[in-house]
Amino acid sequence: MDNEQLSLPQYEVPEDLQHAIAVTTLDRLYNWGRRSSVWPLMFGLACCAIEMIAAQTARYDLARFGMEVMRPTPRQADMLLVSGTVTKKMVPAIIRLYNQMPEPKYVVAMGACASGGGPFKEGYNVVAGIDKFLPVDVYIPGCPPTPQALIAGLIKLQEKIDKQSIKQVPWYRRKTKDPNYVPVPILGPDLIDPRRNAEIKSAAAVKEG
């Protein structure tokens, strides 16, 4: 990435010094550093994982975007790339992984199944999209999305990171202890989301009489 892009457009840096000097804001510098090395979590659920792997191979290189380091452990990863169908049995594991990721973290829903259930939407074990539990930043449609589509989606994520400002990001707020903690669902007679406990209790009370 050249320094010219880092510089703000209204400042003119002389030609011979453009590779050495950049005049920029703190936000741009901060975001440039973060978006150029997003480390995905090596997390593949189903068929979309194969296209994710294919996007990392030499033909559609993800290393050009800084995303070649795929960490299996969530403690060192930046981005949760949910690729594949989200099933009710797997949701507690996904949410535990999300909670273990340190801020700043992003969630990308890759494929039709993670965005909205996909072809299996009517299944009794399928959650219609990961956005029922996690806050999703980018949705990538396709079944499976070709590696070119995946790269287009990841570039959108990079553009989104560019727009964030240090003044408003949730991990520098003073009051909130854990801004993005999601409570882990429970596998009972069916999947139970703890955030809807009050609703479930009132519905059960109504049903019982």
Binding residues (CB under 8 A) for other proteins: these are: 42-47, 49-51, 53-54, 57-59, 72, 84-85, 87-90, 93, 97, 119-120, 122-126, 143-144, 146, 187-190
Nearer of residues 146 and 165 to other proteins, judged by Cβ: 146
DSSP structural state of residue 89: T
Smallest distance, other proteins to C-beta of residue 98, A: 11
Shortest distance in whole angstroms from residue 147 CB to other proteins? 9
Which is nearer to other proteins, 6 or 184 (by Cβ)? 184
Between residues 90 and 184, which has the closer beta carbon with respect to other proteins? 90
Amino acid symbol at 55? A
List the one residue out of 154, 64, 59 whose CA is nearest residue 110.
Answer: 154
Name the residue nearer to other proteins (CB basis): 7 or 40.
40
Distances (CA, A) of 113 to 45, 110, 118, 130, 200: 10, 8, 4, 8, 26
Closest contact distance (angstroms) between CB of 113 and other proteins is: 8
Shortest CB 87 distance to other proteins, Å: 6
Pairing of strands 138-140, 186-187: unpaired
Give the nearer residue to other proteins in terms of CB position, either 119 or 179. Answer: 119
Distances (CA, A) of 85 to 24, 46, 60: 42, 6, 23
**Closest approach of Cβ 31 to other proteins, in Å?**
29
Task: Report how far residue 53's alpha carbon sits from residue 71's, in angstroms, rounded to the nearest whole number.
Answer: 13
